[in-house]
Structure 1
């Protein structure tokens, strides 16, 4: 969902999360995540690598940005577009973490 339309008190399905559409919800389901509350405390980088392992393919690194956006949102931050996290991801990965 577009981050400007997200309502924290209305998260009945995964597509109610910022930056999550049908494909993103399907990816989350592959990770065993079926409710938004399951994202609390999750590591977006671990989620990304688990998704790559589960599907047997390397996904676009922007998926990490989406995962950062939804985990941060579920930990209380404001909903932001996924691209707001791109530089953070690039910095994190370049540091070899």
Structure 2
């Protein structure tokens, strides 16, 4: 969902989260996350590495940016576009 349309008080499904469509929801389910609140306190870098390990594929680093946006949001941050996290990801993990 577009970050500008997200209502924190109406989060019921994964696709209610900012930056989450069906493909990202499927990735999250593969990681054992079925509800938005399960993202609270999660490490986006760990989620990304686990996804790559589970699928046997090195996913686009933008997937990590999305995970960063989701964990930040679920930990109380504002709903931001995933690309707002690209610089932070590059600073923390420049080789991805």
TM range (shorter): over 0.9
1:14 aligns with 2:4: no
Query: Which residue number corresponds to residue 39 of structure 2?
Result: 39
Query: Which residue number corresponds to residue 61 of structure 2?
Result: 61
Point out where structure 1 has 5 or more consecutive residues left out of the alignment.
none
How well do the aligned residues superpose, as a CA RMSD in angstroms? 0.9
Point out where structure 2 has 5 or more consecutive residues left out of the alignment.
none
**Cα distance in 1, alignment partners of residues 32 and 93 from structure 2:** 25
Query: Which residue number corresponds to residue 24 of structure 1?
Result: 24
**Normalization by structure 1: what TM-score?**
0.96
Aligned length: 95
